[in-house]
Amino acid sequence: MPLISPAPVLREPSTFDFEPQRGWVLQARSPRTIVLVLTAYLLLTANWPLWMELAQLGRAPSLYVPNIFGMAWLLGGGLVALLSLTAWSRFMKPLWMLLVLVAAVVQHYMATYRMVMDPSMALNVLQTDPGEARDLLSLTMLVRVLLVAVPAIGWLWWVPVIPQRPLQALWRNAVLFVAAVAVTVGGGMLMSRQLAPLMRNQPHLRYMMNPLASVYSFSMAATRPLLHRSRKLVPISGGAALGASYAAQTRPRLLMLVVGETARADHFGLNGYARDTTPALKARGVVSFGDVRSCGTNTAASVPCMFSHLGKQDFEARKNDYENLLDVLQAAGLAVLWIDNQSGCKGVCDRVPHAEANDAAQIAANPSLCSGDECLDDIMLKGLDERIAALPPERVARGVVLVMHQIGSHGPAYFRRSPPNGKPFQPECRTVTLADCAHSELINAYDNSIAHTDRVLGDAIDWLKARRSRFDTGMLYLSDHGESLGEYGLFLHGVPYSFAPDVQKQVPFVVWLDGGLGERTGVPDACLRKSVDTPLTHDNLYHTVMGLVDVKSPTYAPTLDAFQACRHSVAG
């Protein structure tokens, strides 16, 4: 009998039958292959600031091409080693996509502002409030980020990942990791003669290796709070007491300490700047010290340091946390209040009364000073009498220290730091992409912000004068750090201190004690004016304030009191 073939089985067509053939680009890949492709992509698309910096440093191709090759070798090996830890399955795709997005964003800011992503800058990013973050957004940023991120994220979304057994993945990933480390170390040793001097003389280059530096820096910044919790808080307020001048006082002291933001000393008219950016302060007869250096180049580094008794060197080397100036003043019996118009006090005000100047009630009551959740610094002067009245009356009767933390000249949106009727310098830069502005427009916008700080400080002095019948008053103004405005191709601040330009370190220090506090503490105005060229640093602030409000403590060092040479013994 002839064999009869069985009838074919009919079935409903499936959508899979009509799936188009995948091209080579979208063929299924192993996780390790994806890691290698991703590394090559990031080297080519997300490290242009590093390659351009190396080219600029080398000047001639014979010099910079070997440096670019060497840095690419180290960065590529490091990225492969890092990403081999993630080469497991398709569930790693979100992590890979996030890494690409971070690399694209970081490259934009490195290219636009010449910043580097060291741990200090990463901490600033994590502590940035919504208003500051909004100031950094722009259409240029969106386009640049999308150009880098979209191709890689699209590919990662569509490319299939070959499944693998866990043990198989483990040993293959281990082989890739060891090979990447060996290649990186071996290449580094072979090129050490070429790269070692470069890295030693240009240490910022290590923080331009994108996204390797970002992963390291954000990891350090994110784990810092965990390390912080493991540190003990060392008390220094023991033995703090009010000095002899309080025994027969007729009026309590009222010291206003204004912490400036991003103000450059060389853009203050008081310090010889060609433009009169400080007419209000000049009219009120303040004293301005012209040679003052900051503790850091960003708020997170400078503010805790300037309120510490340790000084920059010991503060940065500390193993534990310490109480600060405000803790000591409060322990001595004074009323202390921190008022913030910035992204927080960085831990300085944690143990004393503190308030947000731009809270919902203040914004509603002062719409002309606020836009969204961001307010001009004038807001800090609103409701001050009520804030003082809310402090413990027995402390107020001894004396008050008000600390006001400005938004000042915080960039890149300098044009938002001055009101429409307070812009004497025109035209001004009105974008956050500073390199798109003419340099003169950028300077105008920044100088307008300094002019507004001048007006705020003038109003603060007038407020203090009006309380002269009740308090002996005075004001200190000291900025946390300076700012780059295109010098050496740099913008903003936050460059690691060891190689930051002086414009990010030289800060204004302004003193007004004519409300009775100078006479009360024996600091004659004429003597202060003779010492305005004395070199000072943030290290002097702790001891200068302690001397000014006459608080005794074992931590007080008279040699670091900027006013000690002018002080004489005055009672009452």
Angle at 499 between CA 498 and CA 503, to 5 degrees: 105
29 within 8 A of 38, measured Cβ to Cβ: no
pLDDT digits (tens), the chain, 572 positions: 444 555 554 444 443 444 445 677 778 889 999 999 999 999 999 999 999 988 888 778 877 888 899 899 999 999 999 999 999 888 899 999 999 999 999 999 888 887 888 887 887 777 777 777 777 778 888 999 999 999 999 999 999 999 888 898 899 999 999 999 999 988 888 887 777 777 767 878 888 999 999 898 888 887 766 655 557 899 999 999 999 989 888 999 999 999 999 999 999 999 999 999 999 999 999 999 999 999 999 998 999 999 999 999 999 999 899 999 999 999 999 999 999 998 889 999 999 999 999 888 888 888 899 987 789 999 999 999 999 999 999 999 999 999 999 999 998 889 999 999 999 999 999 988 887 889 999 999 999 999 999 999 999 999 999 999 999 999 999 999 999 998 888 888 888 888 889 999 999 999 999 989 988 888 988 899 999 999 999 999 999 999 999 999 999 999 999 999 987 544 33
**H-run or E-run covering 52:** helix 48-58
Question: Measuring CA to CA, which residue among 519, 499, 504 is closest to residue 563?
Answer: 519
Question: Measuring CA to CA, which residue among 103, 83, 101 is closest to residue 92?
Answer: 83
Position 447 scores a pLDDT of 98
Any idea what DSSP says for residue 320?
Answer: S
Name the token pair of 532: 């305005």
> Domains in the chain, ordered, with CATH?
21-228 (no CATH), 237-518+538-554 (3.40.720.10)
Any idea what DSSP says for residue 29?
Answer: B
Position 275 scores a pLDDT of 96
Position 178 scores a pLDDT of 95
**H-run or E-run covering 197:** helix 192-201
Helices H / strands E in the chain, number of each: 21, 17
Question: Measuring CA to CA, which residue among 525, 561, 476, 480 is closest to residue 253?
Answer: 476
Any idea what DSSP says for residue 359?
Answer: -
Position 401 scores a pLDDT of 98
